Chain A
Amino acid sequence: MSPGRAFRDRLLVALAALTAWQVAAVVFGPHWISPPLVTARRFGQLALNGELTRHAVYTLAAAAGGFAVGGVPGAVLPFALRRAPRLAAVLDPYLVAGYGMPKLALAPLFILWFGIGLASKVALVASIVFFLIFFSTAAGVRGTDVRLVAMARVAGASEQAVARHVVWPSAVPYVFAGLKISLSYAIGAAVVGELISSNRGLGYLIQAGANDFDTTTVFAALTALTLLIVGVNALVEATERRLLRWRPADAQPARRLVTAA
């Protein structure tokens, strides 16, 4: 499909969605569903007076911080475990258990341990992102073509060189898959952390709005949140495209239709 056509179709979907939104607002009433124009106006208001920026930056900081703290070890650990298969086997069930544990339920615990500031939200996001990135990267590492590894070894590559030149590039598509999945979870977790402890962040804005009978602010904050996620996702995909430009055209990063949130 040509980019022009795709753009036009997406525009049509957007218009349809906005229309449905407006209709719903009329049908249910503006206090249940804030109409698009009213929401846009409030969005502009909050953006201009700096409040939206202030809160968005806080949420983004928590998400980004958690991403770094959780994502880096998550991406590095599979490479380390590759050299120690026995250790990997021992750790595997614990990692799976950790992955399966609902981290959001641990949010109050993190607040107890790390306080009510940014640290607890970073910790919450990190705990979620770590497992997602770990398992994606591990799949990529495991999926490395052994023939390429053998070729590199015969050519005189040390284990480190193999990891750097063969395993890592081979795993990159998987790492990015993990990144994209983690994205919405990271921002979602940051928001949940804010809901229960903060007067900063888009999560706080949503809750304050709800408790203020101010549905419009809730919708404006949700819009900001959505834009944030879409923006960061676009950034990640652009980076992925650049790193994976060696791929044949039909193997481009698959577009996900549905984002689990």
Chain B
Amino acid sequence: MMRVDPAHDLAMLVLATCFSVAPAAWAQAPEETTLAVPAFSLTFSSSFVAEELRLWEKEGLKVTISTVPGVAGANAVLAGSVDFTLTSAATLVRGGTRGQQLLAIAQLMDRAPTEIVLRKDVAEKAGFTPGLPIAKRAQMLRGKRIAVDSVNSINHIILKYVARKAGIDPEKDLTVTPMQPPNMIAALKSGAIDGLSMSVPWPVMATREGIALTLVSIPRGDIPEMTPFAFILLVTRPGFCDTKASVCRKLVAGYRQALGVIHDKPAEATGALRKKFDKIDPAVLAEAFELARAAASRTLRVNEAGIKRAFDFQVDAGAMSADEKLPPLAGFYTNKFVQ
């Protein structure tokens, strides 16, 4: 005779359900990570698009984005308070050469969508005419007050590079001030600053509104030495992706999707970006977006030559010294998540 014990059966049923449901539930709980975005500009449009269109969520990854200006983001990753940041090869190289190694796992921007603009009256007073060669235009920076997003960010280094080429000492003959990008336009209008060196859309906003003239434009090819240039890299601490490989994989996958949208479905991308950059005139945003889109990577593969170029560029800019020893380039990146 079989013993019937309803309580016992019920308990077994509950346990069985738990055990079958649990793994599925665990599989569905998203992994979490943190990302520091250095500036509020279209340089980081792929991050903003991924966030708005929830592309990482679809991969099962919850990404918390914080804004940490400039190189501080890299420092935050090194310190362990943030898992990932986006940074230029310039910062990557500078850090690695000085003993603070980071690892790039994807390249998001191949070119710098940065422009240096000067307020109209200032430029005209310095003798600006449209056909002027870049060497002459760069001279107009002398004695001016220029805003950048952060001290020693890539936009600052580009400014230093241009200044040096024109024979100007960027520390002494120029006043540089870090500023939140949205404040730059107001500061330009009010006369607090004379110009800015910043990635789009901000310089485009200034020129389109007619308050500034473009001194130097990298997207329009004014500095051929900056091609190729690993402009924006997704970086993390060395060793992080060894222990959290799936997080790294999912993050890169989300970026791949975002870049796909940017390249192949630009209208959807601009729609997402309009929500983020809601205080900017849509027409300005559209024009700026085109410049950023042209610079956005297609393959996400980290370009080693672009890393080397970043070193040479910084030496020319005076941000690094030629006798600093660059570690082996292979140690700076991996493309295994990009396959």
Task: Write the residues of chain A forming the contact surface with B, with a CB cutoff of 8 angstroms.
Answer: 29-31, 54, 111-112, 115-117, 196-200, 204, 207-208, 210-214
Contacts and interface: CB of A to CB of B under 8 A. Distances in A.
Contact of B178 (A196, A210, A212): A196
B98 A214 contact: yes
Nearest to B176: A199
Contact of B150 (A54, A111, A117, A211): A211
Nearest to B146: A199
Most A C-beta atoms less than 10 A away, residue of B70, B75, B151, B172: B151
B71 A211 contact: yes
Given A116-B145, A116-B193, A199-B171, A213 B178 contact: no
B171 A213 contact: no
B99 interface: yes
A111 B187 CA distance: 10
30 contacts: A30-B99, A31-B98, A31-B100, A112-B192, A115-B192, A116-B177, A116-B187, A117-B145, A197-B178, A198-B175, A198-B177, A199-B171, A199-B174, A199-B175, A199-B176, A207-B151, A207-B178, A210-B71, A210-B75, A211-B70, A211-B71, A211-B151, A211-B152, A211-B153, A212-B71, A212-B152, A212-B319, A213-B94, A213-B98, A213-B99
B211 to A, nearest CB: 18
Interface of B: 70-72, 75, 94-95, 98-100, 145, 150-153, 171-172, 174-179, 187, 192-193, 319
A38 to B, nearest CB: 12
A75 B146 CA distance: 38
Contacts of B153: 211
A28 to B, nearest CB: 12
A149 B94 CA distance: 67
A212 B94 contact: yes
A211 B72 contact: yes
Nearest to A214: B98
B99 A31 contact: yes
B99 A116 contact: no
A258 to B, nearest CB: 27
A204 B175 contact: no
B152 A208 contact: yes
A212 B319 CA distance: 8
Contacts of B178: 196-197, 207
B327 to A, nearest CB: 13
A194 to B, nearest CB: 10
Given A31-B99, A197-B178, A213-B100, A116 B192 contact: yes
Contacts of B72: 210-211
A59 to B, nearest CB: 15
A197 B179 contact: yes
